[in-house]
Amino acid sequence: MFSARIKTHHSAMASGKKYVMGPRNVQNYLSSTEESDKDNSTIYIHVPFCNKICSFCNMRRSLQKPSDNYYKLIIREIENYAKLSYVKNSVFDAVYFGGGTPTTLTSDELKCILQSLFKNLNFTKDVEVTIETTVTELTDEKIEILGESGVTRFSVGIQTFNDSGRKQMNRIGSGEYVYRKLQQLKNSKKFTVSMDLIYNYSGQSIRDLEDDLNKICELDLDGFSMYSLINMKETEINEAQNLANDEEMFFFIAEKMKKAGYEFLELTKMVKNDKYKYIMNRHQGADTLALGAGAGGSMNDLMMMNEISIDKYAESIENFSTRQGMLFVPEYKDITIFKGDIQTLKLPANESLYNDEIQYTEFVQKLLDEEYIYHHNEGYRLTTKGVFWGNSISRALYDMI
């Protein structure tokens, strides 16, 4: 039914140009629009620095230490936003530090950012605060200070415990070392702990994959993201195994980990005890305040994309009153929820979005006949096969809107 598997939600989506209304001044718009009454908003903080560059990665980051004032820029950005009534009245339910590697900031710098957030903005009582990290950046001191500062969840980019796989991916530390560090984090019993797993890399056997999964089970991790290696043109390694292998490994993970008590939360995430509110709220159309160089988000239909160049980002904080965002029509929220539905294994409930009802009905029938979906309550859910092809299904449906 599909000729190639789309592996990420980024490539699954076509452009949203037709929903754009045009540029707006951020300060004016977020001071004058209706006040937020939502209590599921989220914050994304981008830290685009890494101490070592992994061979597979083309994220928005660079090989350098954060400048001494990077955290101060973020704090000034928070203070600027906190003066705008819409932001001031929002209640934030989840904060996510992503990267890059956010723990390239010192514990004190991260602590100051968190203190500024809690002082200037409103949060739910059980706010989730996630830090994305590599274990080698995570010292005992950092774990303790971050815990005291409000961090509740760690997303750790392990990728594999296999030493030759780690070498291929240019990851720091042996499999045994990263295993012990994860164990330490888990034993502290203070945090939700999730890890990133990359599978289907060159030379990986099913037994190697099984070893990685056994370690996730032994560690009793709360969840894990599972990414089939994507060949990025501009990265060093370009060696994912073929589609048949990808599929075999995907089903192996799904079946083994379901038996171990994990279930799919997203197309690329299985969990036991991880609510991952940051992503779930976003999938339901929640606002996201974007902070830091290269961060993107949207508040009250105004999309904001910060400059990735640190100098330009610093300038945009200096001149905050002239910052521009891009206003989207309110109906664009329906598209966000539509995308979020598939990412969370549901066939989008909002059937009114489709242009051609017959084309849609025929497509759904085909998905049912070929067991990509099954009836669930009033709608449809993806089968394991449907999860594997989820981003391709998403793209096909999006083309019908």
Which residues of this chain interact with ligand SAM, rule CB under 6 A? 54, 56-57, 59, 98-99, 101, 132, 134, 157, 159, 196, 198, 227, 229-230, 232
Q: Please report how close the Cβ of residue 211 comes to ligand SAM at its closest, in angstroms.
A: 17
User: CB under 5 to 8 A by kind: which of ligand SF4, ligand SAM, none does 354 bind?
Assistant: none
Which of 136, 140, 175 has its CA nearest to residue 156? 136
Q: Please report how close the Cβ of residue 224 comes to ligand SF4 at its closest, in angstroms.
A: 15
List residues near ligand SF4 by CB under 6 A: 50, 53-54, 57, 59, 61, 99-101, 134, 157
Residues forming beta bridges with residue 224, ordered by sequence position: 195, 270
Q: Please report how close the Cβ of residue 144 comes to ligand SF4 at its closest, in angstroms.
A: 23
Using DSSP, state whether 163 is helix, strand or coil.
helix
Q: Please report how close the Cβ of residue 149 comes to ligand SF4 at its closest, in angstroms.
A: 22
Q: Please report how close the Cβ of residue 171 comes to ligand SAM at its closest, in angstroms.
A: 8
Amino acid letter, 383: T
The full length of the chain comes to 401
DSSP state string for 214-227: HHHHHHT-SEEEEE
Query: Nearer to ligand SF4 by C-beta: 61 or 272?
Result: 61
Q: Please report how close the Cβ of residue 317 comes to ligand SAM at its closest, in angstroms.
A: 23
DSSP state string for 119-149: HHSEEEEEEEEEEEE-GGG--HHHHHHHHHT
User: CB under 5 to 8 A by kind: which of ligand SF4, ligand SAM, none does 294 bind?
Assistant: none
User: CB under 5 to 8 A by kind: which of ligand SAM, ligand SF4, none does 232 bind?
Assistant: ligand SAM
User: CB under 5 to 8 A by kind: which of ligand SF4, ligand SAM, none does 308 bind?
Assistant: none
In this structure, the strands spanning 269-271 and 263-266 are antiparallel
What kind and span of H or E run contains 177? helix 175-187
Query: Nearer to ligand SF4 by C-beta: 101 or 288?
Result: 101
Q: Please report how close the Cβ of residue 226 comes to ligand SAM at its closest, in angstroms.
A: 9
Query: Nearer to ligand SF4 by C-beta: 50 or 393?
Result: 50
User: CB under 5 to 8 A by kind: which of ligand SAM, ligand SF4, none does 215 bind?
Assistant: none
Query: Nearer to ligand SAM by C-beta: 84 or 146?
Result: 146
User: CB under 5 to 8 A by kind: which of ligand SF4, ligand SAM, none does 53 bind?
Assistant: ligand SF4
User: CB under 5 to 8 A by kind: which of ligand SF4, ligand SAM, none does 287 bind?
Assistant: none
Q: Please report how close the Cβ of residue 77 comes to ligand SAM at its closest, in angstroms.
A: 20
Report the C-alpha gap between 157 and 169 in whole angstroms: 12
- CB neighbour list of residue 290: distance below 8 Å, 6 or more residues apart: 44, 46, 296, 297, 298, 304, 305, 306
Q: Are 313 and 60 in contact (CB under 8 A)?
A: no
User: CB under 5 to 8 A by kind: which of ligand SAM, ligand SF4, none does 192 bind?
Assistant: none
CA torsion 239-212-7-307 (nearest 10°) is -90
Using DSSP, state whether 82 is helix, strand or coil.
helix
Query: Nearer to ligand SF4 by C-beta: 172 or 329?
Result: 172
What kind and span of H or E run contains 40? none
Q: Which pair of structure tokens corresponds to residue 238?
A: 């370009």
Amino acid letter, 323: R
Q: Which pair of structure tokens corresponds to residue 192?
A: 């939700």
Q: Are 195 and 157 in contact (CB under 8 A)?
A: yes
Nearest residue (beta carbon) to ligand SAM:
157
